[in-house]
Amino acid sequence: MQPTSSPPEHLILHRGEEQSNHVRQTVAQLEPKSLRTYTPSLAVIQRSAGCYHWTPEGRMLADFTSGVLVANLGHNPGSWWARLLGYLGLDHPDFAQPFIPLVPLTSYNAATELEADACRRLIDLLQSQPGGARCEQVLWAASGSEAIQKALWCALACGGDEPIILATRDGFHGKKGLAGAVTGNEQSPERDPRVRFISFPKKECESVQARRQPLDLEPYRRELDQLWQQYGSRICCLITEPYLGGGGSYHPQKEYLQLLQQFCREHDVVFILDEVQSNFGRTGPLFAFTHYGVEPDIVVLGKGLGNGVAVSAACGRADVLDRLDYGACSDTFSGNPLACAAVLATLDEFEQQNVLEHAAELARVIEKGLLRLTETPVVARVRGEGVVWGVECAPVGNHSADEVANACVLACYQGDPSGRAIHLLGPLAGNVLRISPPLVMPLDEAELYLEAMYEIFSTLGENLRG
Ligand SMILES: Cc1ncc(COP(=O)(O)O)c(C=O)c1O
């Protein structure tokens, strides 16, 4: 088959963006569209610093995504880079000379001092948190879904014949392998006969106001009891997220997670908490398990762990994680020195800068600004905590809520009359826009851009009403 030179149907172009459009054309031609989740702006990012991206045309976009909750410390923070390069020995004056022995980039089936240091530091940090006592070992991986997969492999190995995994319905744990199997619900394409889904109180936490009401735990308790009666000790583990992130930003009442943990403890079921997106300050504390009042057997970390360098880890009980034999969880990149140096630099920054204190103030600004958006016709409700929020769009005129959400992303990218433009990702679960700026966004800048968002959404609402 000859390569096609005509523009693909899904090509996204924007007027007045010649250089960006050239990039858009090339990737549309040479990469399958499945590589990205649909985002109508398809921003082309040439440079990034702090809370901003710049396009090749020099337009500045305020980043309200942190990549996808990755750059918690902002993009390219100078002190983080300096630490990372220091860990790799690249602050050496002669490093560009040939044959200077440096830290290797690959250490497959060997071990490095960086890896040992990163394990020690991560375990010490987790164990120093309320609820982190069970974190005894680190099982490295290179992406969130791989760490989930490894955690589930280990938990399955603790089960007997025909093990069953419980997972909260409509969650998101990744797309690959077992991570895909515990994502979504009974209708998901990656159905795995070992997985059973349990209910998550979405309706009860669909807005900030709803979440303030106490949760009736009885139906959830009954469902768990019924599953235990049906499957008994075949149930080897239960996996959930502190909140449904990719599933549409549903942050449950704390007692829901505590009920799940109680069930696990009563029946000796491994309790796995997926903190791939909530870790490193998103919900307030360093790890969400501390303020949800639970103590997971395994906590899975990713995204913000490397602030942009690909690294993830399942941290938990040694008797579970150390169940499998040599090779079962090995792969080319897990625990590689670059990843470990990034983890160490991230831990240093959180230890030595006042990131969480600032994030707590930023959280208040974000909450106030987002609640105001419900005054605009395009927003139905908002929900979230800390610096991770979902803005659920409403249908307007004859436009569906999903169409409105995509129009919001585009309008934010195009900006307001004074040129304030905002980078958002395509909506989650159809019509939910995620708001998750870097934790270090200055308060006055957050206010400025939330005001811009309000104006953009108001104008868009009027235009859509026609
Ligand atoms: C809670 C959660 N778990 C797992 C993953 C999968 O991570 P990755 O995309 O790095 O495989 C994600 C990604 O968005 C996530 O939000």
pLDDT in tens, 339-363: 999 999 999 999 999 999 999 999 9
The pLDDT tens digits of the residues spanning 191-215 come to: 899 999 999 999 999 999 999 999 9
Q: Given ligand 1 and candidates 276, 282, 299, 333, which is best to mutate, with the most ligand atoms within 8 Å of its CB? A: 276
> Which pLDDT band, with edges at 50, 70 and 90, does 56 fall under?
very high
Instruction: Please answer whether residues 345 and 118 qualify as being in contact, where contact means their C-beta atoms are separated by less than 8 angstroms.
Output: no
- Residue ranges, comma separated, of all CATH 3.90.1150.10 domains in the chain are 18-77+355-465
Selection from 335, 260, 331, 330 nearest residue 305 by Cα: 335
Q: Which two tokens stand for residue 283?
A: 């919900």
Q: What is the DSSP string of 91-123?
A: T-TTTTSTT-----S--TTS--HHHHHHHHHHH
Residues 6+ apart with CB under 8 A from 120: none
Instruction: Please answer whether residues 177 and 224 qualify as being in contact, where contact means their C-beta atoms are separated by less than 8 angstroms.
Output: no
Instruction: Please answer whether residues 47 and 69 qualify as being in contact, where contact means their C-beta atoms are separated by less than 8 angstroms.
Output: no
What pLDDT is attached to residue 191? 85
* 377 Cα–ligand 1 center, Å: 31
| Ligand 1 binding pocket, CB closer than 6 Å | 68, 143-145, 148, 172-174, 241, 245-246, 274, 276-277, 302
First and final C-alpha spacing in the chain = 46
Atom of ligand 1 minimally distant from the CA of 241:
1
Average of per-residue pLDDT values in the chain: 96
* 422 Cα–ligand 1 center, Å: 23
Mean pLDDT value across residues 133-151: 98
SS3 at position 179: helix
Domain 18-77+355-465 class in CATH: alpha beta
Among protein residues, the one with the nearest Cα to ligand 1's atom 13 is 174
Query: Which element (helix H / strand E) includes 42?
Result: none
113-335 CATH choice from 3.40.640.10, 3.80.10.10, 1.10.260.40, 3.40.50.300? 3.40.640.10
What pLDDT is attached to residue 4? 52
Selection from 280, 191, 248, 261 nearest residue 220 by Cα: 261
d(CA 270, CA 238): 6
Selection from 31, 11, 64 nearest residue 409 by Cα: 64
Provide the residue type at 97 as one letter: Q
* 277 Cα–ligand 1 center, Å: 7
Mean pLDDT value across residues 52-69: 98
Three-class SS of 332-362 = CCCCCHHHHHHHHHHHHHHHHCCHHHHHHHH
**337-353 residues labelled b (16+ CB within 10 A) or e (exposed):** bbbbbbbbbbbbbbeee
Higher confidence at residue 128 or residue 1?
128
Report the DSSP beta bridge partners of residue 383: 390
* 172 Cα–ligand 1 center, Å: 7
pLDDT at position 102 over 90: no
d(CA 133, CA 129): 8
Higher confidence at residue 100 or residue 452?
452
* 331 Cα–ligand 1 center, Å: 19
The pLDDT tens digits of the residues spanning 275-321 come to: 999 999 999 999 999 999 999 999 999 999 999 999 999 999 999 99
pLDDT at position 94 over 80: no
> Which pLDDT band, with edges at 50, 70 and 90, does 235 fall under?
very high
As a whole-number percent, the residues of the chain with pLDDT over 70 amount to: 98
Atom of ligand 1 minimally distant from the CA of 246:
16
Report the DSSP beta bridge partners of residue 399: 396
What pLDDT is attached to residue 3? 47
Instruction: Please answer whether residues 411 and 382 qualify as being in contact, where contact means their C-beta atoms are separated by less than 8 angstroms.
Output: no
What pLDDT is attached to residue 1? 46
Q: Which two tokens stand for residue 20?
A: 């960006």
Q: What is the DSSP string of 192-235?
A: -TTEEEE---TGGGSSHHHHTSPP--HHHHHHHHHHHHHHGGGE
Atom of ligand 1 minimally distant from the CA of 148:
4
Atom of ligand 1 minimally distant from the CA of 312:
10
* 143 Cα–ligand 1 center, Å: 8
* 171 Cα–ligand 1 center, Å: 10
| Range in 91-95, 102-106, 376-380, 451-455 the model is least confident about | 91-95
* 459 Cα–ligand 1 center, Å: 34
Atom of ligand 1 minimally distant from the CA of 303:
10
Mean pLDDT value across residues 401-410: 98
**151-179 residues labelled b (16+ CB within 10 A) or e (exposed):** bbbbbbebbeeebbbbbbbbbbbbebbbb
Q: Given ligand 1 and candidates 34, 140, 243, 277, which is best to mutate, with the most ligand atoms within 8 Å of its CB? A: 277
Name the burial class of residue 80, with classes exposed (0-12), middle (13-18) and buried (19+) by CB atoms within 10 angstroms of its CB: buried
- Residue ranges, comma separated, of all CATH 3.40.640.10 domains in the chain are 113-335
Among protein residues, the one with the nearest Cα to ligand 1's atom 3 is 173
Atom of ligand 1 minimally distant from the CA of 171:
1
What pLDDT is attached to residue 95? 73
What pLDDT is attached to residue 98? 73
